[in-house]
Amino acid sequence: MKPTRELIDDIERDRFERARTMSRGDRLLEGPRLFDLACRWMEAGLRTKHPDASDEQIFALMERRLQMQREMDDDPVVPVGFNDGE
């Protein structure tokens, strides 16, 4: 079942409302919490895709994916400061 645009919008509104009511300290801690959650999801996906992999192999795959993401972040397709004429 694919989520509707309305459901996605409701979820986003809820996220923004929660963020507005959080203290600065809680918002600051939310970044590392989200990164930890993303790493857990990545690990679960890799374990599903590679069920026979050892913990060390899963960790190496995670490091590789994170490095690839850093490289993509450092080398954007559209250069910083790109002006499309608007």
pLDDT, one tens digit per residue, over 49-80 is 999 999 999 999 999 999 988 888 887 665 55
Its pTM stands at 0.62
Query: Of 15, 21, 65, whose CA–CA distance to 45 is shortest?
Result: 65
- pLDDT for 1: 72
Split into its structural domains, the chain has a count of: 1
What is the spatial distance between Cα 33 and Cα 74, in angstroms, rounded to a whole number? 23
Please indicate, yes or no, if residue 79 is contained in any of the structural domains. Answer: no
- Domain ranges, residue 56: 5-74
Please give the share of the chain, as a percent, with pLDDT higher than 70. 87
The answer to the question of residue 82 being in a domain is: no
- pLDDT tops 50 at residue 85: no
| Assigned domain for 58 exists | yes
Residue 80 covered by a domain? no
* Higher pLDDT among residues 13 and 79, named by residue: 13
pLDDT 10s digits, 18-44: 888 989 898 888 889 989 999 999 999
**Structure tokens given for 31:** 């970044």
